[in-house]
Amino acid sequence: MQRRTLVLIVVVSALTLIGSCAGTEERSLGLVEGHLRSCPSSPNCVCSESDGGTAGIAPLAYEGDDSAALARLAEVLAAMPRTAVVTRSDDYMHVTFTSAIFRFVDDVEFRLDREAGVIHVRSASRVGYSDLGANRARVERIREAFAAAGGAR
């Protein structure tokens, strides 16, 4: 009986610790001098406006109307599970993604660059050091869905 109680205490403690790391506060978000913020040194962030390195990722390219491209992106994001639009303007969008099991929250930002015909993206985990490639994989899924919706060139 004592061993069973000890195991139960360890499991409950571990779940409580994991739940407390789920992330409730937003990191520094938004534009800085008209650009997305740089990624931190931890490997849990990707950004199309980074200076390369492991955080670098390509922006979403589009043709046609700028507003229509951002609207198509919003439709793509709305179809993805556990997604919430936090902020949306005519050239910026902040969306959160929440993981299914542990409820980890990731912040994803998009910036419309009309001159270049691209939508820059930054996807970052709120907690932890590594995300095992989750943010990069998410951006690539968004890219595929955006292209399928007719939003890419």
* Element of type H or E holding 87: strand 83-88
- Give the HSE-up count for residue 97: Cα atoms under 13 Å, Cβ half-sphere: 20
In a structure prediction context, what are the per-residue pLDDT tens digits for the chain, which is 153 residues long?
576 655 545 443 444 334 334 443 445 899 999 999 999 989 999 999 987 788 999 999 999 999 999 999 999 999 999 999 999 999 999 999 999 999 999 999 999 999 999 999 999 999 999 999 999 999 999 999 999 998 676
Q: Which two tokens stand for residue 56?
A: 């670098």
* Cβ-contact 152, 110 below 8 angstroms: no
Q: Which two tokens stand for residue 97?
A: 């993604």
Q: What's the pTM?
A: 0.81
Amino acid present at 64: G
* Domains of the chain, residue spans: 25-148
CATH number of 25-148: 3.30.565.10, 3.30.310.80, 3.90.1560.10, 3.40.50.300? Answer: 3.30.310.80
For β-strands 60-61 and 118-125, DSSP reports them as antiparallel
For β-strands 83-88 and 92-98, DSSP reports them as antiparallel
